[in-house]
Amino acid sequence: MVHVLHLDPFNEGRLREFVRSLRKKGLMKDRVKCAICELDVAACSGSMCKHINNKHT
């Protein structure tokens, strides 16, 4: 199952809620692959938001 999150502009608060919900469901690991560039990123809202804002905006 693929979870897609649409945020414009990328909002760390909303991402934090999304990551929490995936962790509660057991769907989030410690590291995740970026769907755009396939780099490994730490699975926390700060790292994910920073990666997206620096690499893809």
- Each residue's pLDDT tens digit in the chain (57 positions)? 555 555 555 677 888 888 888 888 888 888 888 888 988 988 887 788 788 878 877
Amino acid at 21: S
3-state SS, residue 40: strand
- pLDDT, position 3: 55
- pLDDT, position 6: 53
Residues 6+ positions from 2 with CB-CB distance below 8 Å:
none
- pLDDT, position 47: 84
Q: Would you say the pTM of this structure is higher than 0.95?
A: no
